Amino acid sequence: MSMLDRKLLRDLWKLRTQALAIILLIASGVAMFEMALSNYLTLRSMQVRHYEREAFADIFADLKRAPASLAAHISGIDGVAAAEARIVQPVRIMREDGDASVSGRIVSLPPTGQPELNRLRLTRGRWIEAGKRNEAIVNAAFADARHVRTGDTIDVILNGRLEKFTIAGIALSPEFVFATRSGLPLPDDHAYAILWAERSSVAAAFNMEGAFNNLTVRLAPGASEAAVISGIDRKLEAYGGTGAIGRRDHPSHRFVEDELAEQRTMSVVMPLIFLGIASFLLNVVIGRLVTAQREQIASLKALGYPNAPILLHYLKLTAALVLAGTVAGGLAGAWLAAQMIEMYRPFFRFPDWAFEFRLWLPLASGAMAFAAAMIGVVLSVADVVRLPAAVALRPSTPGTASTTAFKSLRHLGLAGPRSMMIVRTIVGRPARTLMTICGLMLAVPLATMGLFWWDSLGYMIDFNFERVERSDAQVTLIHALPSRAVREVSRMPGVFTAEGSRLIPVRLVNGHRSYRTVLQGVSEGSELRVPRESDLQPVAIPPEGVVLSRRLAAKLWLSKGDMLTVEVQEGGRPLRQIAVAGLADDILGLSAYIARPALNRLMREGDLVNSIALRIDPREAAGVWSRLQQTAKVEAVAIRSSLLRSFDEKISGLINVSAFILTGFGILIAFGVVYNAARVAYQERAWELATLRILGFTRRETLTVLFGELAIVVAIAVPLGLVLAHWLIALILRLRDNESFQLPAIISPATFALSALVIIAASVTSAILVRRLVEKLDLVAVLKTRD
């Protein structure tokens, strides 16, 4: 072992507390990066595997009714690899608890068992026995939400007739990773079920023998989706086709993509920012560690050591720290990732749930940390070796440059020499002060970035469920009914207000841009559905023209006054040009509003509604639901409280998991940063502090000099950090790519205060730890050493 290597080991031992802090910093960055990214990649690969194994279709089409023989013609379309015809129908599920809100879909299964596309993956139970007409398989999300077990019998209303089904199995499907009813922005597993039953039993109930009303298609490799879709649309036109859609517009896929996009933000962008900050700090800390050995480096140079082995020596020191941090962080990250991935299980209904270790993640983040540390080392070593050995050997008390800075303050009439010591140290070494401020400033957003999600979600819920959608329930009717139906409902006991609206599935088109959504025909003077600006001002819906959500308008490159093509996806599928009459801000989904009379005219129909929004007396809720359940014309009832619960589970829950981890790591790293800053400030001034003690200053007086500096730096850094946090959060939210919901950059004063408090608490804790060092200062040693 060379003597320099021996020095390396001894230095590491001597610096063990600081080394430990650096190792923890690296380990936190590496662990967090690995955990978050690994979870995201694992979710992605589970999605891809699920789609492949269970043969998720590429194109989906609904139609009114077509003879089974048409399926063969569709298979013949150029670019179609496989086509499967099914019957998919709305059903209602009766619950003994009288809850009217459970609706669903029943999907036919071929007599041969597994379909070719959108196969089922049984998680419990068994396949339907051939020939058993009243057996069904249910989707796992609903089974879990409603505690449905295999062998249970459930009452299902098919086409107005009640039938009993026995649950043979519980399954996952790539088609229903998130089972969402059209028109609702969120999946609600409590209120929405998917049942699979043998074709014959579904056909019998809906009079669909020898016919189908739903088609799924797999594309041949290299086939054009658009060409196949228009081919299918042509074939289905005569059979009431409502327009085929690609995966992009498939509700479950869209939601999976949005949730994964959310995870990408939380798991890639945020940890990268964290790792970046940690690397910057590492750079600073390591740089200072080297600078502190200035005289040793000069001595080595004076002894005739060339620069290369000296640099190598410090790089080895860095490598040792980074290696230790990477190994510790890699192991911790893998362990955390394996624990964390379990927490995603209720959100993503994928089969084959398994943690996958990816070695490259800790390696990549370790390499990034090493690169950052290396820059710090090279710059600091270069700084020292550039000086003639004789100069470097002298203590690095402030040089002429900083003296100039001191001079400018000479006549500043401050309280006294100790205040001057504080101020001049801050101003006289601007580079050092700047680094410390930067470090502390960067620590602030680490706390804010975890905490703000709760503010943002709280705002979202308030905006969407209190200000825009103000009803207690939305009743979806099976068929559009004259608006007097609304008056009937409003006369039900327990109903305060009922408002009818007309909801029509549409494709909004501007040039080559298009988006499928539901056009909401809102009654005049609606109080239960109020589109708003982000400042909460209501947006009036004019008699003509549509009001679009601002994000939707941006997506379609439209602004107020532009003309928009509306392709109705229902009935005669009329196509109209309508002006964009106004813009509104929405958070959940991408909405389009129109006055109901205008929509009725567009559909060339009378005064019809197919959705009724209700305000009810909460004390009579059960009675209202039960009466609605008796009504054959009702397809589904979406209850706000249930939607809110679903929002809590599907969106808040998922964000909370990540935000919780981000906050934890953020606070941990912030503490590390502040402690290091305090520790380095102490180290650089230990000599001065000891001198003060010898001169007769008490511990308290001595500490005011050190902590005065820290306090001023914290006072400068924290407000800057809060501004930075605001910028970073706005940036992160801009980088989000999510259609399902828009997270506003809302940061409450409490979150700002808490972030500041975290840094202040970290500073106080660090100060307490450093105080012990000041108390243990070796006064005698100071007399025998220079700086």
Partner 1 sequence: MDEGQIAAAGTATAGDAVTPPVFVARDLAKTYGSGKAAVHALRDVNLEIHAGEFVVLLGPSGSGKSTLLNILGGLDAPTSGTACWRDHQLTGASESELTAYRREHVGFVFQFYNLIPSLTVRENVQLVAEIADNPMDIAQAIELVGLTPQIDRFPSQLSGGEQQRVAVARAIVKRPDILLCDEPTGALDFDTGRIVLAAIQRVNAELGTTTIVITHNSAIADMAHRVLRLRGGRIASEERNSKRLDAMEISW
Residues 6+ apart with CB under 8 A from 526: 499, 501, 541, 613
37 SS3 class:
helix
Q: Is the dihedral of CA 289, 293, 298, 303 positive or negative?
A: negative
Q: And the tokens for 160? A: 């107005």
What does each C-alpha distance from 376 to 287, 309, 370, 372, 389 come to in angstroms? Answer: 5, 17, 10, 7, 21
CB 779, min distance to partner 1, A: 5
773 binds partner 1 (CB under 8 A): no
CB 468, min distance to partner 1, A: 60
431 binds partner 1 (CB under 8 A): no
127 binds partner 1 (CB under 8 A): no
- # residues near partner 1 by CB under 8 A: 35
**Distance between CA 88 and CA 181 in Å, rounded?**
13
Write the interaction track for partner 1 spanning residues 697-726; mark x where CB under 8 A is met and - where it is not: xxx-x-------------------------
Q: Which is nearer to partner 1, 417 or 719 (CB)?
A: 417
784 binds partner 1 (CB under 8 A): yes
Q: Which is nearer to partner 1, 17 or 397 (CB)?
A: 397
779 binds partner 1 (CB under 8 A): yes
User: Judged by CB under 8 A, which of 131, 303, 695, 772 binds partner 1?
Assistant: 695
- What angle separates helix 430-462 from helix 417-428, to the nearest 10 degrees? 80
22 SS3 class:
helix
Write the interaction track for partner 1 spanning residues 395-424; mark x where CB under 8 A is met and - where it is not: --xxxx--x--xx--x-----xxx-xx--x
Q: Which is nearer to partner 1, 240 or 708 (CB)?
A: 708
CB 423, min distance to partner 1, A: 9
CB 701, min distance to partner 1, A: 7
3-state SS string over 263-330?
HHHHHHHHHHHHHHHHHHHHHHHHHHHHHCCHHHHHHHHHCCCCHHHHHHHHHHHHHHHHHHHHHHHH
CB 425, min distance to partner 1, A: 5
Q: Which of 205, 9, 235, 11 is nearest to 92 (CA)?
A: 205
Q: Which one of 88-96, 297-305, 357-365, 391-399 is the stretch in contact with partner 1 (CB under 8 A)?
A: 391-399
626 binds partner 1 (CB under 8 A): no
**Distance between CA 557 and CA 394 in Å, rounded?**
66
User: Judged by CB under 8 A, which of 230, 691, 748, 765 binds partner 1?
Assistant: 691
Q: Which of 220, 279, 288 is nearest to 25 (CA)?
A: 279
User: Judged by CB under 8 A, which of 89, 693, 722, 742 binds partner 1?
Assistant: 693
Residues 6+ apart with CB under 8 A from 207: 159
129 binds partner 1 (CB under 8 A): no
What does each C-alpha distance from 254 to 48, 51, 260, 589 come to in angstroms? Answer: 14, 14, 10, 11
Please give the single-letter amino acid code of residue 422: I
Beta-carbon-side half-sphere exposure of residue 340 (alpha carbons within 13 Å): 31
What does each C-alpha distance from 85 to 59, 221, 453, 459, 619 come to in angstroms? Answer: 12, 21, 44, 44, 46
CA 395 to chain CA centroid, Å, is 51
Q: Which is nearer to partner 1, 640 or 693 (CB)?
A: 693
Write the interaction track for partner 1 spanning residues 177-216; mark x where CB under 8 A is met and - where it is not: ----------------------------------------
CB 388, min distance to partner 1, A: 17
Pick out residues in 753-772 that bind partner 1 (CB under 8 A): none
Q: Which is nearer to partner 1, 1 or 695 (CB)?
A: 695
7 binds partner 1 (CB under 8 A): no
CB 387, min distance to partner 1, A: 15
Q: Which is nearer to partner 1, 124 or 418 (CB)?
A: 418
589 binds partner 1 (CB under 8 A): no
390 binds partner 1 (CB under 8 A): no
247 binds partner 1 (CB under 8 A): no
782 binds partner 1 (CB under 8 A): yes
Residues 6+ apart with CB under 8 A from 248: 254
Q: Which residue reads 């085929």 in tokens?
A: 244
CB 267, min distance to partner 1, A: 46
CB 787, min distance to partner 1, A: 8
Pick out residues in 482-501 that bind partner 1 (CB under 8 A): none
Query: Partners of 166 in the beta sheet?
Result: 135, 153
**Which residues are at the interface with partner 1 (CB under 8 A)?**
397-400, 403, 406-407, 410, 416-418, 420-421, 424-425, 428, 687-688, 691-699, 701, 779-780, 782-786
